[in-house]
Structure 1
Amino acid sequence: MTGPLPVQFWHYLTRLAHGDLGTASATGQPVLHDLLSTFPATLELATLALIIGALLGVTAGVLCARYVGSPWDLAVRTFTLLGNSVPIFWLGLLMLALFYARLQWTPGPGRLDDIYQYSVEPRTGFALIDTWLSGDREAFKNAVGHLLLPVLLLAYYSLASITRLTRSACLSEMNKEYVLLARAKGAGEMTILFRHVLPNIRGTLLTVIALAWTAMLEGAVLTETVFSWPGIGRYLTTALFAGDTTANHGRYAADWRQLRPD
C-alpha cells in the first residue's frame, strides 16, 4: 500500500471489514483460507473435550454436593484445584512422556500417522469423520488414539471449573423450600439432586459449559503446540515464531468480525 500512514491504515481496516485478512507469508495462502482449513481440527478437539468434561464435571459436582465434607468431596476438590493450578503445557508434556514415550500406549504427536496421511481423503476436515467415511478401520483407530491425550488434557481443565461450579450451585439449592418439601415426602437425596435440583440449575450449567467451550478454544493454542495438532492454535504459534504478523492480525480481525454488531 502507498500513501500517508493514516490512509494506509484506513485501507487496511476497509479490507478487514470485507473479509480480506491478507496473505500469510509462511504459506503464501490467504489468511482466511488458512484459518478455515485449520479450524475443523480445533473444533473437533474442543468439542470432544467439552462433551467429556461436561459429563464428568456435572456428575462429579452432583456427587460432591451429595457427599459434602466426605473423603470423596475432598479428593475431587483437590483434583479440580490442580486442574486450575498446573500449567497446561507442563501436564501435556508429562502425558506425552509417560503414555507415548515410556508406556507406548498412545500414538505420538500429530493427527494421524504418516501412513494414513495421504490414504484418507479430507472430506470434512474432522479426522474421526473422514477416517470413518474412508472405511479404513485402522485409520479410524489411529485417529482416536491421536485424539485421546489432547482431548483428555483439555477435558481435565474444563472438568475442573464445571465440577466446582456444579457443586456450588447444587449446595445453594439444597436448603430451599422445594428440596425440604421433597425430603419431607420421603424422596432420597440422589432423587432430589437429579430430579429437582439439576433441572433448576440447568441455566447456570449451560452458561458455565458455554464459557468452558470458549475457554477451550483459547486454551487449545498450547495444547495444539504440545501435541503438534494442526489446528488454529498451532498455526498461529508457528506464524508468530516465523514473524508472520499478517496471520496473527487476521486471527484477531476474524474475532472482531464475529463480535461486532451487524
Structure 2
Amino acid sequence: MIALMPAPQPTTTGRRRARHLVGELALRGRLCAQGRPRRGKHAPVTLDWPWAGPGLAWRPGRAPRAQGHSWIAAQAFSLAWDEPVRQALMAPEIHPPAMEDDNADVIARIGGPESYSDKAARNFFGTSAKILRCESMRKCFLAVLEGKAGGALVPVNNVILGDIREAGEKVKDMASGLNLCPVCAHRLGVRLVLASYGTLEEIKIAYSIQPALDQCTEFFQNHKHISRASTIDNKRITDTSMAAECVKNLDVRYASAICDADAAQHHGVPVALTAIANRQDNYTPFFLYRK
C-alpha cells in the first residue's frame, strides 16, 4: 500500500530515485499525459503527477526533468522507497486495498447505470460491489468520513480538461481538505457519443454534464445549430447516464444527450454520432479515497 506521509527533506539519492520511479510510472501510463509528443518518439511530454500541481517533462528512456520545482514528488508526498512498494506501483493492474472497517465494502460514487463512475466502480470491484450512490463528489467524501462507506471513487482529472472541479473547487483539493488520501487509481477511457431519436440535422440541443460538454467544444463549433445545456427543467444533470435518461423521457427528435454508448443503449436511445470528443484518446483517471 502507498504510505502517505509528510514530505521529508530530499537527498540527492532520494531525488534520483524519485525521478527514475516517476519516469517508469509515466511509461506505464500511471500518470496523466497533459500533452502529446510533438515530433518523433523522443519528443518531450508534459505529465501531471496526480497529487501535485506542476508537471514533469521527460523523454522516453530518461529520468524526468522537473518543471518549476526540482523536487515535485517530495512536495506532494513521499513513498516508502522499498522494493514491494515499487513492484506494486509498477504492476500491470493496481488492485484496491483490503478494507476491514464497518461498511468497508461499501463504495461511494456518483452516477447512474452505465455512467463513467459506474464503469470505474465495476472495473475496480466487480458487479457485486456494494455501491452508495451520492448526489455529488463532496457527499461521496462525507460518506467516507461518516462511516457510511469504506471508500469514495471519484474522477480527478481529464486529459482534455485538466483538473475536474465541483462547485469551482478541484476535486483533489476537496479530498485533501477533508484529510482523505488516495490509495489507488484507475484510468478509464471516455468514448463520448451523441444519442438522440432524431438525425444530426434535426437535433437542436445536447444535454449532458458540463465537463462532458466541455470535452466536445470542437463538435459544437462544427455544428452551430446545436446548443448545449447542463440543466433541464431547472435541475442540474449530474452524470452522463442521467443525460441519456432525460432524452428518453423527453422523447423528441430535437433533443440529444452526450454520453457513453452503453448508457444510450441502457436507456434505449439510438446513437446519432460517435467519437465527438476533441481527442479520441480521451480518458479520465478515477481515484479511490479513504480515511
TM-score tier by shorter-chain length is under 0.3
Structure having the larger proportion of residues in strand: 2
Which of structures 1 and 2 has the larger relative contact order (alpha carbons within 8 angstroms, sep 6+)? 1
Structure having the larger proportion of residues in helix: 1
**TM-score of the superposition, structure 2-length normalised?**
0.23
Query: Rg: which structure is higher?
Result: 1
**TM-score of the superposition, structure 1-length normalised?**
0.25
